């Protein structure tokens, strides 16, 4: 008689969510927030471009209803808060309150930066006027420095501007120089990084105060508010493009460029139904998509000539798949 062993889903980092593509990794708490923990942040080219990302809605931190990595490079979260005036606590919501709540939907896609869609819906029977607050910051630490012992201390600059008819922009820039000597080689090394946070298609205009961005919301029953936010990395003098908004552009460019690999690489299937063969083939299929997600698009030499990431980022990706 064949023995059947129960399967257990392992979660290496049960308290964290990893979303990644290429050498970019977004590491957050389960509710999608970044509070400056040593492994939390948006890392691009081994630099933490976001060290803080928190959302307050109606004066509260939203409660996670559900969240999922629908793809390796995408995270969807649905959060709720009681409407203004409700006396429910922040850590738990009664069933009656969850049915009469403000819902915050967050969709994130990472690439050489991040695109984020924020959508608020009023599920109450009353008109609501409230505020959504987005708090963001960057420290430009490398993965080792996030664990303590900062190796360099440079200059930060923060600027709030508006591009011509396009977007409100928060730019956080960091620059540091230091002398070095390696044998007979001597000189000055400079690190110059920035993140440009571009607010697009917002239903109401934003305003900034310090590290916080405010949006005023006026929602009738069933009303909806939306904003797109791009997090664009600048590495030295090169600005990297954030991923496209899938809601507006349809199939993203990265999906089109990975199509040849997924169409032409070996696929797996099995007719077995009394064994775990179907689960094994499912894991092999997922492995194909994981390999495609590890592609470094900036090093492409053609649709069938590309490089995959390795090292620290690959290890983080392994954590993401096992979580």
CATH number of the domain encompassing residue 207:
2.70.98.40
Question: What is the Cα–Cα distance from 194 to 216, expressed in whole angstroms?
Answer: 28
Annotate 266-305 with b (16+ C-beta within 10 A) or e (fewer): eeeeeeeeeeeeeeeeeeeeeeeebebbbbbeeeeeeeee
From edge to edge, which strands make up the β-sheet containing 16-21?
16-21, 24-29, 41-44, 47-50
Q: What is the mean pLDDT of the chain?
A: 79
Range of the structural domain that residue 27 is part of: 16-244
Distances (CA, A) of 225 to 30, 122, 163, 216, 217: 23, 9, 22, 10, 7
Q: Does residue 215 belong to any structural domain of this protein?
A: yes
Higher pLDDT among residues 304 and 88, named by residue: 304
Residue 322 predicted with pLDDT over 50: no
Task: State residue 86's pLDDT score.
Answer: 62
Tell me the percentage of the chain whose pLDDT exceeds 70.
66
Q: Does residue 173 belong to any structural domain of this protein?
A: yes
Q: Does residue 267 belong to any structural domain of this protein?
A: no
Residue 4 predicted with pLDDT over 90: no
Q: Structure pTM?
A: 0.73
- pLDDT-derived band at 179 (thresholds 50, 70, 90) equals confident
Distances (CA, A) of 61 to 50, 89, 284: 19, 10, 39
Residue 320 predicted with pLDDT over 60: no
Task: State residue 8's pLDDT score.
Answer: 44
Q: Does residue 296 belong to any structural domain of this protein?
A: no
Q: Does residue 249 belong to any structural domain of this protein?
A: no
pLDDT tens-place string over residues 126-151:
999 999 999 999 999 988 888 877 77
Q: Does residue 172 belong to any structural domain of this protein?
A: yes
Rounded to the nearest 10 degrees, the angle between the axes of helix 312-322 and helix 277-293 is 140
- pLDDT-derived band at 164 (thresholds 50, 70, 90) equals confident
Task: State residue 259's pLDDT score.
Answer: 59
Residue 214 predicted with pLDDT over 70: yes
The mean-pLDDT minimum among 166-175, 190-199, 204-213, 262-271 falls in 262-271
pLDDT tens-place string over residues 11-55:
556 789 999 888 899 999 999 999 988 889 999 988 999 999 999
Instruction: Count up the domains in the chain and report the number.
Output: 1
Higher pLDDT among residues 206 and 190, named by residue: 206
Task: State residue 137's pLDDT score.
Answer: 96
Task: State residue 42's pLDDT score.
Answer: 95
Question: What is the Cα–Cα distance from 122 to 98, expressed in whole angstroms?
Answer: 11
Task: State residue 267's pLDDT score.
Answer: 64
Helix H, strand E, coil C: the string for the chain is CCCCCCCCCCCCCCCEEEEEECCEEEEEECCCCECCCCCCEEEECCEEEECEEEEEECCECCEEEEEEEEECCEEEEEEEECCCCCCCCCCCCCHHHHHCCEEEEEEEEECCEEEEEEEEEECCCCCEEEEEEEEEECCCCCCCHHHCCCCCCCEEEEEEEECCCCCEEEEEEEEEEEEEEECCEEEEEEEEEEEEEEEECCCCCEEEECCEEEEEEEECCCCEEEEEEEEEEEECCEECCCCCCHHHHCCCHHHHHHHHHHHHCCCCCCCCCCCCHHHHHHHHHHHHHHHHHCECHHHCCECCECCECCCHHHHHHHHHHHC
Task: State residue 315's pLDDT score.
Answer: 44
pLDDT tens-place string over residues 264-307:
666 656 555 455 566 666 666 666 666 666 666 666 666 666 66
Question: What is the Cα–Cα distance from 129 to 58, expressed in whole angstroms?
Answer: 9
Task: State residue 10's pLDDT score.
Answer: 47
Nearest to 134 by CA among 180, 168, 84, 157: 168
Q: Does residue 280 belong to any structural domain of this protein?
A: no
| Residue 307 CB-half CA count within 13 A | 9
Would the CA dihedral through 88, 89, 94, 100 be positive or negative?
positive
Q: Does residue 309 belong to any structural domain of this protein?
A: no
């Amino acid at each position: 008689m064949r023995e059947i062993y129960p399967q257990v889903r392992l979660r290496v980092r049960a308290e964290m969510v990893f979303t990644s593509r290429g050498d970019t990794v977004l590491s957050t708490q389960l509710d999608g927030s970044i509070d400056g923990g040593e492994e939390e942040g948006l890392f691009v080219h081994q630099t933490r471009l976001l060290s803080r990302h928190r959302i307050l809605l109606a004066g509260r931190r939203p409660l996670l209803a559900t969240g999922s990595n629908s793809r390796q490079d995408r995270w969807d979260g649905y959060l709720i808060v009681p409407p203004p005036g409700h006396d429910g606590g922040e850590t738990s919501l009664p069933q009656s309150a969850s049915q009469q709540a403000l819902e915050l939907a967050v969709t994130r896609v990472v690439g050489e930066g991040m695109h984020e869609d924020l959508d608020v819906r009023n599920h109450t029977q009353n008109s609501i006027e409230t505020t959504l607050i987005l708090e963001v910051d960057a420290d430009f630490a490398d993965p080792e420095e996030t664990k303590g012992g900062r190796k360099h201390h440079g200059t930060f600059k923060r600027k709030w501007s508006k591009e011509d008819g396009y977007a409100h922009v928060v730019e956080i820039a960091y620059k540091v120089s230091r002398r070095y000597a390696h044998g007979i080689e001597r000189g000055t090394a400079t690190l110059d990084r920035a993140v440009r946070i571009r607010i697009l298609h917002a239903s109401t205009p934003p305003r900034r105060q310090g590290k916080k961005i405010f949006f005023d919301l006026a929602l009738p029953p069933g009303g909806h508010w939306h904003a797109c936010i791009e997090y664009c990395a600048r590495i030295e003098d090169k600005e990297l493009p954030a991923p496209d908004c899938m809601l507006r552009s349809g199939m993203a460019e990265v999906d089109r460029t990975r199509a040849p690999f997924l169409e032409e690489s070996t696929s797996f299937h099995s007719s077995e139904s009394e064994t775990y063969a179907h689960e094994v083939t499912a894991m092999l299929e997922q492995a194909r998509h994981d390999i495609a997600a590890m592609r470094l698009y900036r090093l492409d030499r053609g649709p069938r000539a590309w490089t995959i990431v390795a090292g620290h980022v690959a290890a983080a990706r392994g954590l993401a798949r096992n979580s």
